[in-house]
Structure 1
Amino acid sequence: MHVAMIGTGYVGLVSGACFADFGHTVVCVDKDERKIQALRQGIMPIYEPGLEDLVDRNVRQGRLSFSTELSPAVENADAVFIAVGTPSRRGDGHADLSYVYAATREIAAKCKGFTVVVTKSTVPVGTGDQVESISREVAPDAEISVVSNPEFLREGAAIEDFKRPDRIVIGTDDERARAVMTELYRPLFINSSPLLFTSRRTSELIKYAANAFLATKITFINELADLCERVGANVQDVSRGIGLDNRIGSKFLHAGPGYGGSCFPKDTLALTRTAQEAGAPLRIVETVVGVNDARKTAMARKVVNALGGNVKGATVALLGLTFKPNTDDMRDAPSIAIVNSLLDKGAKIRAYDPEGVHEARKVLPEEVFYAENAYDCAKDADVLVIVTEWDAFRALDFGLLKTTLKQPIVVDLRNVYRPQDMEALGFTYESVGRPNLVH
């Protein structure tokens, strides 16, 4: 089948490359000429394990191409995917749908024959109705069927998630569109990946509901971690104890500095706004948003407390800046609030991240010093803080760090290490939601 993917951001590029790997012919379209030129040269705009090889293989085999011209890609397509950004709108938190609607107008004007237009971007309930209305307004005689097909890709594991998904949600009541979508995803039948067909509005809500529930699990265990610290319990054991109940499950029950990234922050905010306007406010999700925002600055206070309540003039070494490992994504990363809070309190910041420095420079203050590696980062620092649990930080040489740091203090915001091991190594060690053995 012929696929046009409008947008070469995280979702569009990964989805387009994976569809091409299934054997479909895919053209990824973007207005950013520099990005398209870079992609043609094999330069990826994002860091995602395995993506560069996947793109290269399918380009060489003639199934995947990149273009700034929408017309030829859409005219030849059986399905056109809208995978443009839907950032939070300034002022009210709603999803900004201007890019979606602009793409819709361009697509509708170029469609020839029966075409399925698929919203892959995360959009609020009812967006598909508006996309359909715009399409009819632009091209009254065009045969266009608008479908919702939300993505459920985890950054750092996106290719695996696309090829071996828990489910594929498709929102349509059109039998012809259903046949096209079934054929597109037919290669996944081997993996027994279930296709869940729903109404379009239901499909749009499923995406938001899933992200809001996962964000709630994260926030729930983070609040329990605070309680554990007060009463002398271990949040990791609590997580295991409740996670073994298959009604609850163990995933997303890891205490830390709060959620970030491209999905959870904006999706929870957009969902609460939609619910408020519909007269059915989601009080739990509203609370999750507020607690998570406060969580990030609370982690900065943990660092301050580890240095006796004052960081003015102190050097803080941060290991990890991205919101999670195996990505260069800095969107709403907890490190941003932590860095800003510590700088406001007079600290000096040294930082190291294996992949995120380029993006970090765009969002962090100029005062931050970027080190070449973990040990350079720790040089003459008063405290070492693990912010993101990259594999490179899971087996640090603490003998070397002890000679490199000004004083042996570690604040582990991801609970990578065990308190008893750090005590044996002679470190003052603070973690999240666990009893501290050394003070």
Structure 2
Amino acid sequence: MKKITIIGTGYVGLVTGAGISEFGHDVTCVDIDKNKIQKLNLGEIPIYEPELETIIKNNKSKGKLNFSTDINKAIKNSQIIFIAVGTPMSKNGDLDLSAIKNVAKTIGANLNSYKVICTKSTVPVGTGKKIEEIIKSINKSIEFDYVSNPEFLREGAAVKDFLIPDRVVIGSSSQKAFEIMQDVYRPLYLNETPIVNTNVETAEMIKYASNAFLALKISYINEIANLCELVGADVHVVSKTMGQDGRISSKFLHPGPGFGGSCFPKDTMSLANTGKKNKIKMNTVEAAIKTNNEQKLRMVDKLKSLLDNKIK
């Protein structure tokens, strides 16, 4: 059993905290939003995910899951710290990492013993090094290890995705940290869930590469759907039959208005920008973004046409 602190009680932080407490660990979720913490302590869950409220209330009643605004105390009392704060996208496609950096500074100021610092937030490749540098610049004497442990949660199935994942990615240069993290996910390890042991940069890239590929599938099938409409083919039969090919899979192969939400638009743009910064043109990713933007406009045009152009 580990003492774990989750910094951030947004979508990722709350699901992570609930899931890890379900594994039997002592978890404290902290947030600077006093109103949110007050509501969580009263049993008011700010988001809806199947089973999330039940898991939170059960583990809170057992004393396995707590909510607090005292980040300094939570850091000092923990063995493992998960960073799960927001990384919103700016207008130029870069991510705003100010919250991540502020958390790193707070961790550095309160580091009182060896700890594993783990990032759950989706961050560009290379962010892990920056977090380590910030902590070390503030606290040079206390040892710690850094881990990238990206989340792969789908809205509407987040609890299931956390408790029964396809894989767990643990990126670190420290074998000690890997073994500690493996112990956090011990129920999954014992259930033979694949545990990927890699370095920080690879773990960070796995998250972006995975989401961008799924976005690509969505944009691709939408282009096929648009062509099917013009040539008289049934895209639903096409996509279903494509999905029956084991090499392709039917997941994310459904035509529609395009991808959206809090992850895919941000992650594809961030990956494309990472490519630009490293002088690598991410042609397929940029094409997926372009197709997605065009698909949204196409949907608007179709609606206008259906309504006999009454909307202007």
Normalised to the residue count of structure 1, the TM-score between the two structures is 0.70
Partner of 1:40: 41
Partner of 2:164: 164
> For 1:226-265, what aligned pairs fall within 5 Å after superposition?
226-265=226-265
Q: Is the 8 A contact 1:164 1:191 kept in 2?
A: no
> For 1:198-277, what aligned pairs fall within 5 Å after superposition?
198-277=198-277
1 CA distance for matches of 2:181 and 2:112?
A: 18
Cα deviation, residue 306, structure 1: 1.4
SS at match of 2:166: coil
Q: Is the 8 A contact 1:135 1:144 kept in 2?
A: no
Partner of 1:133: 133
CA shift digits 1:32-89 (9 cap, x unpaired): 0000001011111112121111111110010000001111111111110000001112
Partner of 1:406: none
The AA in structure 2 aligned to 1:31 is I
Q: Is the 8 A contact 2:182 2:189 kept in 1?
A: no
The AA in structure 2 aligned to 1:170 is I
Partner of 2:81: 80
1 CA distance for matches of 2:14 and 2:20?
A: 10
SS at match of 1:103: helix
2 CA distance for matches of 1:189 and 1:144?
A: 24
2 CA distance for matches of 1:311 and 1:117?
A: 56
1 CA distance for matches of 2:66 and 2:187?
A: 21
2 CA distance for matches of 1:27 and 1:125?
A: 28
**Is 1:287 the equivalent of 2:287?**
yes
Partner of 1:20: 21
Cα deviation, residue 108, structure 1: 1.6
Q: Is the 8 A contact 1:265 1:289 kept in 2?
A: yes
> For 1:13-412, what aligned pairs fall within 5 Å after superposition?
13-90=14-91, 92-308=92-308, 310-312=309-311, 345=312
Q: Is the 8 A contact 1:6 1:81 kept in 2?
A: yes
Cα deviation, residue 290, structure 1: 1.4
2 CA distance for matches of 1:270 and 1:171?
A: 20
Q: Is the 8 A contact 1:79 1:117 kept in 2?
A: yes
- Runs of 4+ displaced beyond 3 Å: none
1 CA distance for matches of 2:240 and 2:103?
A: 46
- Structure 2 regions of 5+ residues with no counterpart? none
2 CA distance for matches of 1:290 and 1:7?
A: 33
SS at match of 1:145: strand
Q: Is the 8 A contact 1:108 1:142 kept in 2?
A: no
Cα deviation, residue 142, structure 1: 1.5
Cα deviation, residue 190, structure 1: 3.4
Aligned pairs, how many? 311
SS at match of 1:155: coil
2 CA distance for matches of 1:26 and 1:233?
A: 53
**Which fold has the larger relative contact order, with Cα–Cα distance below 8 Å and residues 6 or more apart in sequence?**
2
SS at match of 2:5: strand
1 CA distance for matches of 2:187 and 2:26?
A: 14
2 CA distance for matches of 1:197 and 1:294?
A: 39
1 CA distance for matches of 2:266 and 2:159?
A: 23
SS at match of 1:241: helix
SS at match of 1:141: coil
2 CA distance for matches of 1:161 and 1:294?
A: 31
The AA in structure 2 aligned to 1:188 is L
Cα deviation, residue 173, structure 1: 1.5
Give the % identical residues: 49
2 CA distance for matches of 1:124 and 1:155?
A: 22
Cα deviation, residue 191, structure 1: 2.7
The AA in structure 2 aligned to 1:173 is S
SS at match of 1:165: coil
CA shift digits 1:188-209 (9 cap, x unpaired): 1233211001110000000000
2 CA distance for matches of 1:190 and 1:146?
A: 24
1 CA distance for matches of 2:179 and 2:90?
A: 35
1 CA distance for matches of 2:44 and 2:294?
A: 37
CA shift digits 1:323-353 (9 cap, x unpaired): xxxxxxxxxxxxxxxxxxxxxx1xxxxxxxx
CA shift digits 1:383-425 (9 cap, x unpaired): xxxxxxxxxxxxxxxxxxxxxxxxxxxxxxxxxxxxxxxxxxx
2 CA distance for matches of 1:289 and 1:167?
A: 27
2 CA distance for matches of 1:132 and 1:210?
A: 25
The AA in structure 2 aligned to 1:79 is I
CA shift digits 1:207-265 (9 cap, x unpaired): 00000000000000011100010001011111112111111111000000111111100
Q: What is the alpha-carbon root mean square deviation over aligned residues? A: 0.9
Q: Is the 8 A contact 1:7 1:83 kept in 2?
A: yes
The AA in structure 1 aligned to 2:252 is F
SS at match of 1:105: helix
Q: Is the 8 A contact 1:7 1:84 kept in 2?
A: yes
